[in-house]
A = this chain, B = another copy of it.
Amino acid sequence: MELDQVRAWVREAGEIGRKYYNTAEVRRKPDRSVVTAADVEIEQLLRARIRATYPQHGILGEEGGVHNTDAEYLWAIDPIDGTGAFVSGLPIWGISIGLLQQGHPILGCFYLPVLDEWYEADRRGPALFNGQPTEVMRENLLDSEAWICVPSNIHRLYSIHYPGKVRSLGSMAAYICYVARGTAAGALVGRPKLWDIAAGMAVLERAGGGARLLHSRQPLDLRTMLNGQSAPEPVVVGSPPALEMLLKRIRARGEGRGARDEGRGMRDEG
């Protein structure tokens, strides 16, 4: 499981994404979210590459690619994380591929083709942004110019008490990678599926960050998501001090169980 090899697959996938960008026809999935031929074509490509190289490994992909998810090694693929941004002609979307060993992320690669930005990590080296080591932000988290990322439906579900900037940019994987890169102070990523965050979590952990559940405040355990379920609650990501800060400053609108249940409906930008 070499990063060089995964990078070659993802570069090939990025060419497909770029080809369709600003020209793709949009279809609606049953949940009304959007999908394009680019999503389907990229997932097929990545599945074929993985199966040819690692026939024993499992695969879980956003566009329906499920194969042997009980295997020790499981690849989680989001062919285009940020399809909404992609079809809107916004640049923050990318190809996300993560590898888990018994539910623990051991390799991740997220590539944004329009920006030619690479976020990568394996278990041997540091988190990398465009080939350079990178770390999460631990200080100045509340500066007026500091910023966090949130889902684009946050205004309906949560109130945020944050003195810096709150950005909604279009891709959950990008949010996690911006945190890993130390440019975003933290992020709320809604209720992700495994393919949305597997690559990002591999990068984030090597950058010194982590993920917690918004209400129970427990660490996120990816083993609960191996069969394609959403995370049990909205997830926040950041450095240890950023996680403490975010857990205090993001509140469900209204009080109690009703508002929490609404929060459980938050999923976005995958």
Write the residues of chain A forming the contact surface with B, with a CB cutoff of 8 angstroms: 32-34, 84, 87-92, 114-115, 144-145, 147, 152-155, 159-160, 162, 165-170, 181, 183-184, 268
Contacts and interface: CB of A to CB of B under 8 A. Distances in A.
A126 to B, nearest CB: 18
A165 B145 contact: no
18 contacts: A33-B145, A34-B145, A84-B145, A88-B147, A88-B184, A90-B167, A91-B91, A91-B92, A91-B115, A114-B115, A152-B166, A153-B165, A154-B166, A155-B160, A165-B168, A167-B168, A167-B169, A168-B169
A155 B169 CA distance: 15
Contacts of A90: 167, 169, 183
The list of the 10 closest CB pairs from A to B, nearest first, reads A152-B165, A155-B160, A167-B168, A168-B168, A88-B183, A155-B166, A89-B183, A32-B144, A152-B167, A152-B166
B167 A162 contact: no
